[in-house]
């Protein structure tokens, strides 16, 4: 599922921290993930054990789209060669990938999910 990003950086304290609204909380259900276009990047946003995580949406091995993979507990499996990345920190748990996925700081409050997008926008 792809949702359109609404850039709401001007809201309250989000402006100082450069957080960008990416989804409503109820659109990321337990054990599921969505992909979100953010600038020129795609970010996968997932919920595991109630917590929301955000990682780069493109596999570091051969550029497959991670949202087409499977999420099992904290393991995000790439759909192409089945590397397993830890959704919490992007680390590689099983190859063939060797480079971790980039991770983004996530803030969930008042029914909204925000990502700190400094890396994406290069600010
Ligand atoms: S493209 Fe993801 S493991 Fe090969």
CATH architecture for the domain at 14-121? 3-layer Sandwich (2.102)
- Residue 71, C-beta contacts closer than 8 angstroms, at least 6 positions apart: 31, 32, 33, 46, 48, 77, 87
Q: 77-90: per-residue pLDDT in tens? A: 999 999 999 999 99
Could you give the CA distance from residue 46 to residue 30 in angstroms, rounded to a whole number? 8
Which atom of ligand 1 sits closest to the CA of residue 62?
A: 1
Residue closest by Cα to atom 1 of ligand 1: 62
How would residue 38 be classed by pLDDT, with cut points 50, 70 and 90? Answer: confident
Cβ 85 vs Cβ 78: under 8 Å: yes
Residue 24's pLDDT is 97
pLDDT digits (tens, 9 = 90+) for 110-120: 999 999 976 55
pTM for the model stands at 0.83
Task: For the chain, give every domain's residue range.
Answer: 14-121
Q: What is the pLDDT of residue 119?
A: 55
Residue 60, beta-bridge partner list: none
Whether residue 81 has its Cβ less than 6 Å from ligand 1 = yes
Q: Which residue has the tokens 């359109």?
A: 4
CB of 66 closer than 6 A to ligand 1?
no
Question: b/e string for 46-68 if b means 16 or more Cβ within 10 A?
Answer: bbbeeebbbbbbbbbbeebebbe
Integer angstrom CA distances of residue 27 from 23, 35, 110: 7, 11, 13
Whose structure tokens read 């983004």?
Answer: 104
């Amino acid at each position: 599922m792809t949702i359109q990003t609404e850039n709401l950086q001007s809201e309250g304290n989000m402006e100082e921290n450069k957080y960008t609204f990416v989804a409503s909380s109820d659109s990321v259900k337990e054990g599921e993930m969505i992909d979100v276009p953010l600038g020129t990047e795609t970010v996968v946003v997932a919920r595991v054990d109630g917590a929301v995580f955000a990682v780069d949406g493109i596999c570091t091995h051969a550029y497959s789209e991670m949202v087409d993979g499977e999420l099992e507990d904290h393991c995000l499996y790439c759909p192409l060669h089945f590397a397993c990345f830890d959704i919490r920190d992007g680390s590689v748990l099983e190859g063939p990938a060797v480079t971790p996925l980039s991770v983004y700081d996530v803030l969930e409050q008042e029914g909204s999910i925000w990502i700190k997008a400094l890396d994406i926008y290069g600010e």
